[in-house]
Chain A
């Protein structure tokens, strides 16, 4: 397991995931500081940011001391110089998930955070333009949430039983 950088805020929980990557579990307060320390430590790029809705899995495997919430924001950072990846999983909250934006550290997260907002309803504090990106502006609900049903187009047969 790789050790955290010396500039990382104290008390950040880490665990070896299934993958070989280092995985960190900061609290919402530690989140931006941790990402900043990784950026200063040579992680030049934020390759991915996405949300996950663990509505049915509050019992998922997490390191001791991490309070599971319904929504999680998963950030993947990449260091080109060290050829290393690191994954940051922050518990975003239950009813009104909200985490600070990474826009000021990595401007490239702008569209990714908009996507997570659009599809999960996760709010990113101080994001410059938090609007829907994939769905139409007047769309109701956040489609990738687990309590949002999968749409279905009824098959047009003569004796079709109608939508299931």
Chain B
């Protein structure tokens, strides 16, 4: 009679063995060592001199008092395939461990078999919410190795496009964050405004999401005729609507209760964990690579670095909302100051001959063919280059051995590092706060897992 029961139990055992990640998972208290345990409870950072002190951790709690549960990898509020393992005492979170790798597609390995021209199509898929900035980082690293200058117009086009992309990325964040907190109308508004920007991307590059627009040597195409009007409309519309978001969210009591004072982070902790971007700025550290280590032409435009005070969820929200406004300010200056000239380098080493020449010149045709099949060779060397992505410092470490493909391509993904703050931010919070914490950290899993 008991046979079906056994079978079910066996099946559960097989299933859990198949879906288990073993040692990567959150272990029971008695099955883990002191160092790891203190890291998982986030105690490491609260101690002087950053040394481990096991006595400050509540080790006495017996395992039958707490419960370890899985959140994700297919949970709608984890923004992709993030899996959180939570140890709960009733409704309160004792320990958290993010388990990642569910979207790992070996993009760094793929980057080693693609030429420098093709590489931009690869990196654009990492942080799929800010493709332009990924391509920019990759292209600038390759250009630094090549030692070529890009024309002035290409620099300003890149800057304008990356600011547009920053807005669209923050809008998706506003949308999903609103959705996580039950403000589902924010979801619709955020995506509606983003559509304006995506339509402009489509008009300029031919694609909406994975643009492959910024390439080593410049950008793929010049801006379309009448782009000033399009961009102005985008700026005006979104700027006006940020005040609607203010009305909808900023002052709303339910929203404020979920955000204000929840999951605070101190500047010390943020620096120790290597956290960058809005998370770091929310703690009061005015660190923005656009201002601190200017690249492109960010030293020629006026904008403010938005800084928070308390490092809580609400500060992170306010920083992102105000960064949309600052980006609009930069874009308006780009419209006024956009120089004329080439949109890509005229160095024949990296830039194919113009389409019209291919029809009449055999050499131009051969050159074009060689460039797109073999690619161009990059002098040996190694370079680390960082830009400010909507999520923080996006870095690209590139090693070249003199061939047409990078020998090693490493992308320092801001979300990957920021995600380490999860265990610290969630400790002691309630189960409901985990949703807001993951949301305000804003991880893009494509970038975390690469």
Contacts and interface: CB of A to CB of B under 8 A. Distances in A.
A137 B287 CA distance: 37
Interface of A: 17-19, 21, 44-48, 50, 52-53, 56-57, 60-61, 74, 76, 80, 83, 85, 87, 104-112, 115, 119, 128-129, 131-138, 143-144, 150-151
A136 B101 contact: yes
A85 to B, nearest CB: 7
B383 interface: yes
A57 B106 contact: no
Contact of A47 (B21, B112, B395, B419): B395
A87 B386 CA distance: 13
A127 B104 CA distance: 23
B128 interface: no
B347 interface: no
A80 B291 CA distance: 12
Interface of B: 20-24, 33, 35-36, 38-39, 44-45, 50-51, 100-101, 104, 106, 108-110, 112-113, 144-145, 271-276, 285, 287, 292-293, 380-386, 393, 395, 397, 399, 401, 407-408, 410, 412, 416-417, 419-420, 449-450
B106 A151 contact: yes
Given A47-B386, A107-B50, 8 more contacts: A17-B381, A19-B383, A48-B395, A108-B272, A111-B420, A131-B22, A135-B104, A136-B21
Contacts, number: 130
A119 B110 CA distance: 13
B41 to A, nearest CB: 12
B397 A74 contact: yes
A108 B421 CA distance: 9
Sorted nearest first, the 10 A-B pairs with minimum C-beta distance are A108-B274, A128-B35, A137-B22, A18-B381, A108-B273, A134-B101, A48-B412, A50-B410, A134-B104, A129-B36
A131 B39 CA distance: 14
A136 B19 CA distance: 10
B397 A76 contact: yes
Given A19-B383, A133-B100, A137-B22, A107 B397 contact: no
A135 B45 CA distance: 27
A37 B450 CA distance: 32
A134 to B, nearest CB: 4
Contacts of A21: 384
6 contacts: A45-B271, A60-B401, A129-B36, A132-B23, A134-B100, A136-B21
A120 B424 CA distance: 28
A61 B380 CA distance: 9
A112 B419 CA distance: 11
Contacts of B110: 150
A137 B21 contact: yes
Contact of B417 (A56, A105, A112, A136): A112
A45 B274 contact: yes
B39 A128 contact: yes
A48 B20 CA distance: 29
Contacts of A132: 23-24, 101
B274 A106 contact: yes
Contacts of B384: 19, 21, 48, 74, 76, 85, 87
